[in-house]
């Protein structure tokens, strides 16, 4: 399999990843967590786990996701707060609610919400 490397500032190291991975969700998609009561909008995608070892070790051993799958950075919300989440693909579903996300940073990254997804600000695309 063809591989590539990228630097992860969260992990503080170079991460080895497949050159092509199959991300189920795209930037701007609204998703919900399978086990925890929160939803969020995808604002970045890592092709494989690219966070710190400390963060990974904090996940209970029986619930730790595989490292060799896409991980998503989300502007997330639940009934109590808004925050940034880092979630494995295996733990996400497309959101069925269909409504926008009430997160204070949404307007910084996205222009509009239409058809159940957000459009990234043009200034942030390459």
SS (H, E, C) 21-82: CCCCCCCCEEEEECCCCCEEEEEEEECCCCCCHHHHHCCCHHHCCCCCCCEEEEEEECCCCE
CATH of the domain at 79: 2.30.30.390
- Whether the predicted pLDDT of 78 surpasses 90: yes
Phi–psi pair at 18, nearest 5 degrees: -60, 145
Beta carbons of 46 and 27 less than 8 angstroms apart: no
Q: Is 82 exposed, middle or buried (0-12, 13-18, 19+ CB in 10 A)?
A: middle
**Of 22 and 113, the one with more pLDDT:** 113
Give the percent of the chain with pLDDT over 90. 68
- Whether the predicted pLDDT of 98 surpasses 90: no
pLDDT for 65: 95
Phi–psi pair at 108, nearest 5 degrees: -75, -30
Domain boundaries, position 72: 3-124
pLDDT for 5: 61
Q: What total number of domains does the chain contain?
A: 1
Give the percent of the chain with pLDDT over 70. 82
The first and second tokens of residue 49, run together, are 């786990």
- Whether the predicted pLDDT of 66 surpasses 80: yes
Q: Please give the radius of gyration of the chain, using alpha carbons only, rounded to the nearest integer.
A: 15
pLDDT mean across residues, the chain = 87
CA distance 25 to 20: 14
- Whether the predicted pLDDT of 20 surpasses 70: no
């Amino acid at each position: 399999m063809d591989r590539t490397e990228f630097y992860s500032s969260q992990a503080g190291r170079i991460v080895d990843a497949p050159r092509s991975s199959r991300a189920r969700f795209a930037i701007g998609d609204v998703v919900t967590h399978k086990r925890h009561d929160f939803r969020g909008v995808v604002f970045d995608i890592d092709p494989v786990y690219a966070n710190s070892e400390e963060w990974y070790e904090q996940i209970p051993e029986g619930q730790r996701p595989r490292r060799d799958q896409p991980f998503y950075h989300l502007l997330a919300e639940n009934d109590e707060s808004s925050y940034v989440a880092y979630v494995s693909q295996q733990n996400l579903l497309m959101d069925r609610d269909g409504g926008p996300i009430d997160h204070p940073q949404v307007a910084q990254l996205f222009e509009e919400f239409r058809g159940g997804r957000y459009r990234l600000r043009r200034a942030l695309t390459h």
